[in-house]
């Protein structure tokens, strides 16, 4: 059995921007802004440029463990404690597509009342956000590839909804055949071939790296409680709101709190765990996931049609809402800082609804 290597300390030289990265980010910003404008003009309301369809909006608590080893006791996790949190479940496209167009599942976590040194320009001064998707690696290595795939996505935004349903069903069949022989395709999933499974049974991954104090890491949320684990691989009907209905039904009937493990994977070998190639899943045999906290969600109304959309309009989840100790790393994260800020500015202006940091007590934070 190979001994686990110590975590690597971050060196600024490890970040190597792509050639023409700034131009690619500017073009990507334009693509996503135009997608937002297309959707807003068609629907009369501006949504997020990605992860537009909310499938659940929840109050939660993050419990940070006591006695973490020294390599894990950094940033948000330097001290044990409890924090109120908000959780948003979503689907990635810019449109409010029916769930019969099955795309990857996503989760966003906003930890509240976080103290510590912030990054310059961070408009949220007391939160720590984590964004994750149900796959360990990003669809492209860097911004150039992301720009190419985003242009293809933009070309079909608010077009051919019926055709997308048919294509999604075909792609799900292809993905199921690929998974039956031990493979999978992030391209098929992103185009509508995500298996129609319960989002609460999935394991979620940050896909891209972050500082972890002096080190570098990726994050993950994995189901712990039996009620969540029982949902792993559970098939859903391919209907318009199948994900949201499943999430609402689960939390309405919940007897014991649902628990996820918030996990950390430290970078221990830069050659096999690169910062700039987001398409590489870091090998678990080199760096096993380590649990640093539990995310706990109790029984509640997971979605209120009369209140949740308005609450979503006021909130922004972004990886750059962060402590300096968890600064995002790599080209995809550098692009996100610019693109997501432009998306928030457009969304807020079009809707006439300022986006602001939550305040008050946890029970009030959806309406504050």
What pTM, to 2 d.p., does this model score? 0.88
How much of the chain, in percent, has pLDDT values that exceed 70?
Answer: 85
- 47 in Cβ contact with 355 (< 8 Å): no
Q: Which residues pair with 111 in a beta bridge?
A: 85, 128
Q: Who contacts 183 (Cβ-Cβ below 8 Å, separation ≥6)? A: none
Average of per-residue pLDDT across 147-176: 51
| Paired tokens of 88 | 């948003």
- 40 in Cβ contact with 350 (< 8 Å): yes
Q: Is the pLDDT score of 34 beyond 80?
A: yes
Question: How far apart, in Å, do the first and last CA atoms of the chain sit?
Answer: 53
| Paired tokens of 163 | 């055709």
Assign 104 to helix, strand or coil: coil
CB atoms within 10 A of CB 272: 13
Q: 249 φ, ψ to 5°?
A: -65, -40
pLDDT band at 175 (very low <50, low <70, confident <90, very high): very low
CB atoms within 10 A of CB 169: 16
Q: Is the pLDDT score of 177 beyond 60?
A: no
* pLDDT per position as a tens digit, 263-299: 999 999 999 999 999 999 999 999 999 999 999 999 9
Q: Who contacts 230 (Cβ-Cβ below 8 Å, separation ≥6)? A: 201
Cα–Cα distance for residue pair 220/134, rounded to 1 Å:
9
Q: Is the pLDDT score of 200 beyond 90?
A: yes
The helix (run of H) or strand (run of E) holding residue 210 is: strand 210-212
Q: Who contacts 191 (Cβ-Cβ below 8 Å, separation ≥6)? A: 167, 168, 171
Average of per-residue pLDDT across 170-179: 35
CB atoms within 10 A of CB 323: 22
pLDDT band at 18 (very low <50, low <70, confident <90, very high): confident
Residue carrying structure tokens 């602001």: 356
Cα–Cα distance for residue pair 266/262, rounded to 1 Å:
13
Pairing of strands 290-297, 81-91: unpaired
Q: Is the pLDDT score of 2 beyond 80?
A: no
Cα–Cα distance for residue pair 244/124, rounded to 1 Å:
28
Average of per-residue pLDDT across 56-77: 98
* pLDDT per position as a tens digit, 97-135: 888 888 899 999 999 999 999 998 887 889 999 999 999
| Paired tokens of 188 | 């098929």
Cα–Cα distance for residue pair 197/194, rounded to 1 Å:
8
Average of per-residue pLDDT across 192-207: 89
Cα–Cα distance for residue pair 290/27, rounded to 1 Å:
37
Q: Is the pLDDT score of 314 beyond 60?
A: yes
Please report how the helices 143-156 and 21-43 are oriented relative to each other, as an axis angle in degrees rounded to 10.
20
* pLDDT per position as a tens digit, 329-345: 999 999 999 999 999 99
């Amino acid at each position: 059995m190979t001994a686990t290597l110590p975590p690597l300390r971050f060196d600024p030289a490890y970040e190597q921007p792509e050639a023409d990265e700034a131009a690619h980010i500017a073009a990507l910003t334009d693509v996503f802004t135009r997608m937002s404008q297309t959707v807003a003009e068609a629907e009369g309301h501006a949504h997020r440029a990605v992860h537009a369809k909310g499938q659940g909006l929840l109050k939660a608590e993050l419990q940070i463990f006591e006695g973490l080893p020294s390599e894990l006791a950094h940033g948000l996790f330097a001290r044990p404690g409890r924090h109120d949190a908000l959780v948003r479940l979503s689907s990635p496209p810019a449109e409010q597509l029916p769930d019969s167009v099955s795309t990857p599942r996503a989760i966003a976590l906003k930890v509240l009342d976080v103290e510590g040194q912030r990054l310059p320009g961070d408009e949220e001064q007391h939160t720590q956000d984590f964004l994750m998707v149900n796959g360990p690696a990003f669809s492209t290595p860097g911004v150039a590839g992301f720009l190419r795939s985003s242009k293809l996505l933009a070309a079909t935004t608010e077009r051919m909804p019926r055709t997308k349903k048919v294509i999604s069903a075909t792609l799900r069949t292809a993905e199921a055949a690929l998974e039956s022989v031990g493979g999978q395709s992030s391209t098929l999933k992103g185009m509508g071939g995500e298996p129609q499974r319960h989002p609460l049974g999935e394991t979620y991954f940050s896909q891209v790296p972050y500082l972890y104090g002096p080190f570098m890491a990726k994050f993950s949320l994995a189901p712990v409680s039996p009620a969540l684990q029982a949902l792993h691989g559970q098939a859903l009907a391919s209907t318009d709101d199948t994900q949201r209905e499943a999430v609402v039904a689960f939390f309405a009937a919940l007897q014991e709190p649902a628990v996820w493990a918030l996990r950390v994977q430290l970078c221990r070998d830069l050659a096999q765990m690169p910062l700039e190639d987001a398409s590489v899943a870091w090998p678990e045999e080199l760096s096993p996931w380590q649990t640093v906290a539990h995310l706990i969600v109790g029984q509640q109304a997971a979605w209120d049609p009369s209140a949740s959309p308005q609450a979503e309009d006021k909130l922004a989840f972004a990886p750059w809402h962060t402590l300096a100790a968890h600064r995002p790393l790599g080209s995809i994260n550098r692009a996100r800082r610019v693109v997501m800020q432009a998306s928030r500015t457009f969304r807020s202006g079009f809707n006439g609804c300022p986006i602001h940091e939550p305040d008050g007590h946890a029970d009030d934070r959806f309406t504050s």
